Amino acid sequence: MTSLDCNKPETKSCGCSSGSGKKMLIPAIPPVDKWGHIKCRISDKFRMNYAVEPGLYSIGNPGESSPVLVTANYRLACDHLRKAMEKSSAWVLVIDTKGINVWCAAGKGTFGTSELINRINCTKLDTIVKHRSLILPQLGAPGVSAHKVTKATGFSISYGPILANDIPAYLEAGKEATADMRTIKFPLRDRMILTPIEFFAALRKYVWLILGLMVFMGIESSGILIKPAFVNSWPLIISGLISVITGSVLFPVLLPFIPFRSFALKGMILGIIVIIPSLLFYDKIYYGNPFLASASILFNITLISFIALNFTGSTPFTNISGVKREMKFSVPVYISMCIISSILLIIFKLQKWGVV
Amino acid sequence: MGCRLNYLKNVVSLKLNREKCTGCALCTDVCPRGVLHIQNHKVEIINRDRCIECGACSTNCAFNAISVKSGVGCAQAFINAIITGGEPECGCSKNGRSSSGCC
Ligand code: SF4
Ligand code: SF4
């Protein structure tokens, strides 16, 4: 048994922490390898299966008066904490958030009041430390009612800084975080880190569009032909791919520098800037056809704006009321643009067949 | 650069009940956007448009002095809700909103 887990029915009272020699039984927080970090950034599935078992862990050589830090059983969070506290000793109470990071889990309530109370009780934390205080990550606050936890367990809660790296300074200052430590930031580096996930998520959906496009291009009066499907589609496939990259990589990186506050509008602006120059290759990409060109340009701008709007969920400065308002005006616009674009494409096709 | 990262104006649903506020300042501690401030032992909204409706303040106010319609500001969540007919819930398996170094 490597950790204290209340979820397994056979360990009802987490039998492993009773009696003497508690310290010996409490494992150090497990390190994570570089490759694991990278895979976590690319694959959602991998990250899910890479969770830390909930329970109590140690960093260094903690005693009964060492601080207790609470975190999610999200592997990267545990690892950041381990690294930040490298030079000190502390207890780490890992609560079960199904492998999801603190912020998202707090929003869903899995990093929450009842799970925390449950985990305090089942690890018998009160027998391990003398003091009655916990340090929670500030970003866990949306999910946890500090006063309710105190009422139920006797443990009082202090909210630590946002970044694990600031914890030593926070502890040194007597559990005081500066305003700067308390403010969420979204620097270029963080925006870049998100781009692989955004890109692969968008790409997976784009594959279907490519297939649809190829079928459409391949439709001839004599049936679906393979050769025109490939030959006629590839310039459009590439411009679509450019849109996917623009929406999922370029947009997050340029986010603060694109005018307007609305993500849908920002996306549209960026889309226009990126897609309009394709007209320089009017003959190559669009076969000199105005219907095909306008259909493709309209569609790509819509696509970029849509991917951009989706990025609202990944930024720490949007809010639900704002997203609702954005959706209200942008979704009808997207739908109309897609309809217009489809009509233009059909006209292009009919023209090719010599119907119009 | 931080100052450029602002979302739409005048949409936030944050409400105060200053009668109930005891000035304990826990809400100012948990707010990740510097929206709240204590003035004369009472809470005050100083940056309304910066609020991300995370609900940290209202969840942690033991005196029910703050309310906010909280939820994830995530378009994907709404789209999922439309498709599945359920509540807006973020896929949020995304590393998403937690920045890289946070715990
Ligand atoms: S947490 Fe509640 S009581 Fe305390 S300062 Fe904020 S609003 Fe006032
Ligand atoms: S909802 Fe979140 S961002 Fe808004 S005031 Fe409360 S803690 Fe701050």
Write the ipTM: 0.82
Whether residue B44 contacts residue A292, with contact meaning beta carbons closer than 8 Å, is answered with no
**Distance, CA B30 to ligand 2 centroid (Å)?**
8
Taking residues A63-83, report their average pLDDT: 91
Closest alpha carbon to A221 in A115, A97, A354, A123: A354
**A315: nearest CB among B26, B56, B97:** B97
Encode pLDDT of A52-69 as tens digits: 889 999 998 999 999 999
Please report the pLDDT score of residue A46 as a whole number: 62
Q: Would you call A102 helix, strand, or coil by DSSP?
A: helix
**Maximum average pLDDT range among A38-47, A182-191, A249-258, B81-90:** A249-258
Residue whose Cα lies nearest atom 6 of ligand 2: it is: B57
Output DSSP code: residue B102.
Answer: B
Q: Is residue B80 over pLDDT 70? A: yes
Amino acid sitting at position A257: F
- In angstroms, rounded to a whole number, what is the distance separating the alpha carbons of residues B11 and B9? 6
Nearest ligand to residue B53 Cα = 2
* pLDDT at residue A48 in the model: 59
Question: What value does the mean pLDDT of chain A take?
Answer: 86
Residues 23-62, chain B, touching A (beta carbon < 8 A): 26, 29-34, 50-56, 59-60, 62
Rounded distance between C-alpha atoms, residue A52 and residue A55, angstroms: 9
Asked if A142 and B8 come within 8 Å (Cβ–Cβ), the reply is no
Q: Decide if A163 and B101 are in contact by the 8 Å CB cutoff.
A: yes
Is residue A16 scored above 70 in pLDDT? Answer: no
Tokens standing for residue A104: 């998202």
Checking if the pLDDT of A23 tops 70, the result is no
- Ligand 2 centroid to Cα of residue B56, in Å, is 6
The fraction of chain A above a pLDDT of 90, given in percent, is 58
Helices (H) and strands (E) in chain A, counts: 17, 7
Q: How far is the CA of B36 from the centre of ligand 1 (A)?
A: 10
Q: For A272-302, write each residue's pLDDT tens digit.
A: 999 999 999 888 888 889 999 999 999 999 9
**B65: closest CA of chain A, how far (Å):** 14
Give yes or no for a contact between A71 and A102, defined as CB atoms under 8 angstroms apart. yes
- pLDDT reported for residue B93: 42
Report yes or no: A245 and A191 within 8 Å, Cβ to Cβ: no
- Going by pLDDT thresholds of 50, 70 and 90, the confidence category of residue A313 is confident
Q: Which residue of A has its CA nearest to B27?
A: A141
% of chain A with per-residue pLDDT over 70: 86
Ligand with minimal distance to B54 CA: 2
- Contacting residues of B for A165, CB less than 8 Å apart: 101
CA atoms within 13 A on the CB side of A347: 14
Answer whether residue A20 shows pLDDT above 50: no
* Dist. CA A325 → ligand 2 center (Å): 19
The pTM for the full model equals: 0.82
- Return the pLDDT at A243: 96
